[in-house]
Every structure is written in structure tokens, then in C-alpha cells.
Amino acid sequence: MKALNRIFIAAIAVASMTACNNELSEQALNNGGNVNFTMGIGNTSSSRISMPEDSYTASFTGDDEVGIFVAEVPSYINLKYSTADGTTWTGGPVKVSANAAYTYYAYYPYAEGMTANNIPVVVATNQDTEGYIKNDYLYSKLSASAGQTDVKLTFDHALSLVEVTLAGSGAAEGAIVDLLNVATDATIDLTAETPVTTGSTTATVTMDALSSLKYRAIVPAQKIAASTPVFKIAVNGRTYQAKYSGEINFEQGKYLAMTVTLGEQGGDAEIEITASASINNWTEGTSNGDASISVAELNIPLPTDGNVLDTIASNWSPTASAQQIGTDKPEGWYKRSGSVTEPTTVGYDSSEQALTIKRAFAGTGAWNNDNVTFHSCIPLERAKYTLSFDVKCVNDDKGTSVSGTVGVAISSSKDNRLFKICNNSWGDNKRTVTTFVLSSPEGVETSETEWSAGKKTVNFDFGEVSEYGSSSPNTSDAGKEPYFPNYPEGFYNVAAPEHVSSGVNIIFYNYKSKANTTIYIRNIKLTKVEE
């Protein structure tokens, strides 16, 4: 999959809040009495807690409740009004004088103990479970005329609506879409000129999965700094993350509609943020940057049929394309069997749900000419990643654990460079290839075949590459080539975008074991390290 190349962003901006100066088409200037309330949102006849998936017009429904304050009457505090059908409201009552004007404050949803100047807002972090629409807080303010008993309250949305639609061949039902590290709390002050203030609590918000691969969430107004991951999408064993080159502004009363297109393996990936229908006179915003999409977490699928897509019958080379698994290859498992008399046998054990790498004779395998490689076509970043997996070595004759060694490396998109391996503190580990010894107790075979002792992690810096595969670069023997007396000078180079833009190649090999032994590998995952 090629790197994301463009993002179009258009949002609809709310006109300045009109709730403070509502024009009433029907003002009843009678002799005072009980007030009759009608309620709606913006230019809709009614509005709120029901919203069709194919529109942006919400409506009040049965059993909805609002709270109402009358500023001039201290006893009219947080009066609960409810509707059975979404149009007719009962509660109160509120009685006004024929000679006095009144100011009405209202909010949704109703809660006990609220005051007009302090209504706390906290959105759900799992809106897929709770339903996004439950987080659509509303507010209204109206200055009525003297004696007016027919009062129409027009509500504004207090927060921001975000929408994501998945598209393309890589999209699938069951995906999980998260907004990353967004503010989740706010305060509504109905008496203030600017009623809504966003708080400081942040969290990841899981969006509500609707039908037709559409997802929605409601969050407080906030700004997302440029080049900050905005959301992630977990689908088909891959977790994508997207970031925007410019600042993103989630504004009160606006919605942001995004279409995320996941293409064929190795193809284009595209995110578009587009304008659509309107609520309450929303107006179009402006674009201010480009976006990129990359994999934040990649769960490697195993070859359940036990087969590899192709065998590269030559030794790895940084210069010869015929000896590489290039970006033109489809995603999947490959094998390299160059200059090996009895190459490793690759398979799949369904009972263990594990990749198998079997050696038929005692000896040493090699990363460059006797390995199995997963070729990924998913774009990554020039960043730090951790490869994790479970591994064990089994004596095929006895079915018992036995000592062995598994080797690991990761090469670039075109398979012409190897990435730097780091230690646990992310310092230089002086290698691009590493191995793990799998030792049974006291070096003898045992009936213990559990995976608990075989959980391994390897740290990779995709910002540095090398043309050399080595677990210990030559720094002292000038008679051996290549020779790096001033290591790391000459051994590493700064990675280019092309080295990760179409994925990477994850290499495993059975380095050293006894005859008739098999290394089992499962739960392979590549995860970006957030700094």
C-alpha cells in the first residue's frame, strides 16, 4: 500500500450563536400567565436525540428531558420539562407577569442539582457501547418580551461531531475507529457570553459503529496540533493511524465528515474530509494542510495453508533486485533458499496456530539465504517500532522442548536495506540482525512445551538503515571486509521515506538447532513506540 498522499478537509462552521437573540415569529403579549414552551434546534422544526445515519438533522424523541432556568425568578431553578412524543413539553409550571420581561436558560440532557452557570459535561470514552448521540449536549438562551407566554427555545450544539466512513477494498465490517487523546470534558455556563469551555481531561474515544462502515463520535471543541496522530483504525489485523500536517480545529457546533479509503495491497490509501448537510446554518471551513496514514500496530497473519507465495532462490543483496522481495510483490510470506543444500521447510501447525520453521539436519541457518519473510505492503513511519512474538523449539521425534536459536531482522520496503536494532533503552545495539537462544532447563530435553518462556521483543529504529546484515560489525580486523574502524560511520545511513512507504519485510530464520527440530512462532506483532 502506498503512503497516503492527500487529505481534503472541509468542515461546516457554525454561525455565531443566535440563541441569545432568538427572533420569535409568534409572540404572545397577553396578560401574563403560564408559559407554554416549544423547543427545537436551529432551522429544524424539532431537534435532538434522534439522528438518522444518513443526515445531520437531530430531533427530540419521547422521554427526552431538559432543564430550564428563569433568570429573574430565583425559585425557577433547573425545572425539568419532558416530552412524550418529541414535540409537546410538560413540566414546571412557569408563570410570568404581564408587566415584566424574563430571560430563559435551558440545557439538555436534564440532570439534578445543576446551576445555570455550572453544568459539567463529560463525554463517554466508548461511544460504540454508549451510543454517540447520548453525548450531544445542547443549550439555549432567550430574552422574552413582557407578558410573553409562548416561548420557543432554540438549542445549539455544545460540542463537535466527528464522522468517519471507511471505504475501499481494505475496509471491512467490525473495524474499530478511535479518536486519539482528545479532550473529553467541558463546562456549560448558560449565563456567559461564551457558554461552553473545554476542560483538560483527555482520553482515547472509541467511535460509534453505525451501518455502512460509518462511525461517529461527539467530543468537546478543541485544537489538535499539527502532525499529531488524530485517529486510528483497527481492521483485519492492522491498526492504522492518521495525522494532519496542519492544525485541526474541532469547533463547537461543527461536524467533520471523513472518508478513509483503504486500497488494494500496495495501492493508494486516501483520507478525505468533506462537507455535507448542515445543522443550524453551518458554514464551510478552510483546509490548512495534508494528512498521512500509517500503521501504528500490525498483527502479522500466519500462512494457515502452510505455503509461501514464492521462493527467492538466491542470497540477499542490497543491489540486485532479483535477490530481493520488492514492492511489486503481493503481500504475504516468502522464502529465501540461496546456496543451501537442504533448505528450511516452512509450514503451519493448526493445533498450535503457529508458523513452523523446520531444519532437517544439525547446523546453522542464515538470515540472508535460508529464511522465511513476511512481506508487508502497509505504509509505516521512519520511527521506532517493537517487534514482538512467541517462540519455542521442539524435538520432532519426541515432541519435547529442546534448545535452539531463532534469528530476526527487518528489511526495507524494497528489501534492499536492513534496519537498525536497538537495545532496551533504545541505544545502539551494534547490529541489524539478532538471535535468541531457546534453552531447555540445564540444556536437556524436557516435556515442558509451553510458550511462557518464549515471549520475545526486538526494538527497531526505522530511521536508520544499513546495507550490511550483521550481529557484530567488524571494527578491529582490517583484513576482513567490510571494515568499520570508526563505527557507526559507514555502517548506518539515515532512512529515506521510500524505505518504509510501502511496508517492510520481517525476517525469521532457524539459526542453530539439532537435527529434526522445529521452531514455532506465533502472535507476531509490530507496534510503533510513541515517544
Q: How do residues 207-232 score in pLDDT, each as one tens digit?
A: 999 988 899 999 999 988 877 878 78
**Closest alpha carbon to 267 in 528, 510, 502:** 502
Looking at 188-294, list the stretches that DSSP marks H as alpha helix, in order from N- to C-terminal side.
Answer: none
Residue 294: which pLDDT band, with cuts at 50, 70 and 90? low
- pLDDT for residue 111: 95
d(CA 369, CA 372): 9
For residues 129 and 206, what is the distance between their CA atoms, to the nearest angstrom?
Answer: 9
On the question of pLDDT at 526 being above 50, the answer is yes
329 has pLDDT over 80: yes
Structure confidence by residue, pLDDT tens digits, 39-68: 875 533 333 445 666 555 666 777 889 999
Q: Which residues neighbour 52 within 8 Å (Cβ) at sequence distance 6 or greater?
A: none
In angstroms, how far is the first alpha carbon of the chain from the final one? 25
pLDDT score of 258:
73
Distance between alpha carbon 141 and the CA centroid of its chain, in Å?
38
CA distances from 33 to 80, 99, 110 (A): 19, 11, 25
Q: Supply the pLDDT for residue 2.
A: 31
Residue 20, classed as helix, strand or coil, is: helix
Hey, what amino acid is at 346? Answer: V
54-63, 156-165, 196-205: segment of lowest average pLDDT: 54-63
CA 484 to chain centre: 41
Lowest mean pLDDT among 282-286, 406-410, 473-477, 513-517: 282-286
Asked if the model's pLDDT at residue 189 lies above 80, the reply is yes
The CA distances from residue 524 to 298, 302, 389, 458, in Å, are 8, 9, 4, 11
All 3 cell numbers of residue 264? 488494494
> Is the confidence at residue 427, as pLDDT, over 90?
yes
> Which position has the higher pLDDT, 59 or 139?
139
**Of 377 and 449, the one with more pLDDT:** 377
The pLDDT value given to residue 277 = 24
What's the pLDDT score for residue 443? Answer: 47
Could you give the CA distance from residue 359 to residue 296 in angstroms, rounded to a whole number? 34
What is the structure's pLDDT at 501? 83
Residue 145 CB neighbour total at 10 angstroms: 12
Please give the torsion angle defined by the CA atoms of residues 182, 184, 185 and 191, in that order, rounded to the nearest 10 degrees.
80
Q: Which structural domains are found in the chain, ordered by start?
A: 7-298 (2.60.40.2630), 300-528 (2.60.120.260)
Reported as a single tens digit per residue, the pLDDT across 262-274 is: 654 433 344 444 4
pLDDT, tens only, 89-121 = 888 788 888 888 999 999 999 999 999 999 999
Q: Cell numbers at residue 271, please?
A: 483520507
Are the CB atoms for 121 and 137 separated by under 8 Å?
A: yes
Residues 75-85 as b/e (b if ≥16 CB within 10 A, e otherwise) read ebebbebebee
Indicate if the pLDDT at residue 296 is higher than 80: no
pLDDT at 54: 55
Question: What span, in angstroms and rounded, lies between the C-alpha atoms of 384 and 278?
Answer: 42
Amino acid identity of 37?
F
Give the per-residue pLDDT at 41.
59
For the chain, give the mean pLDDT: 80
Q: Tell me, what amino acid is at 128? A: D
| Residue 187 CA: distances (Å) to CA of 123, 191, 504 | 11, 12, 46
Q: What is the pLDDT of residues 345-356, one digit of tens each?
A: 899 999 889 999
**pLDDT given for residue 232 in this prediction:** 81
> Which three-class secondary structure state does DSSP give residue 171?
coil
Predicted local confidence at residue 3, as pLDDT: 32
pLDDT band at 445 (very low <50, low <70, confident <90, very high): low
200 neighbors 129 (Cβ within 8 angstroms): no
User: d(Cα 321, Cα 340) in Å, to the nearest integer?
Assistant: 20
Residue 494 has pLDDT above 90, yes or no: yes
Q: What is the pLDDT of residue 354?
A: 93
C-alpha 280/C-alpha 415 separation (Å) is 54
Report the pLDDT value the prediction gives residue 7, as an integer from 0 to 100.
Answer: 32
Q: 78 pLDDT exceeds 50?
A: yes
Q: What burial class does residue 169 get, using C-beta atoms within 10 Å of its C-beta: 0-12 exposed, 13-18 middle, 19+ buried?
A: exposed
**Strand pairing class (384-395; 400-401):** antiparallel
> Nearest-5° angle of CA 287, CA 293, CA 297?
145
- What's the pLDDT tens digit per position in 386-404? 999 999 888 887 777 777 8
- pLDDT given at position 50: 54
186 pLDDT above the threshold of 80 = yes
pLDDT of residue 409: 97
Distance from C-alpha of 502 to C-alpha of 416, rounded to nearest angstrom: 13
Q: At 37, is the pLDDT very low, low, confident or very high (cuts 50, 70, 90)?
A: confident
Share of the chain above pLDDT 70, in %: 80
Q: Taking the complete model, does pTM exceed 0.85, yes or no?
A: no
Residue 298 has pLDDT above 90, yes or no: no
How would you classify the pairing of strands 354-359 and 345-349? Answer: antiparallel
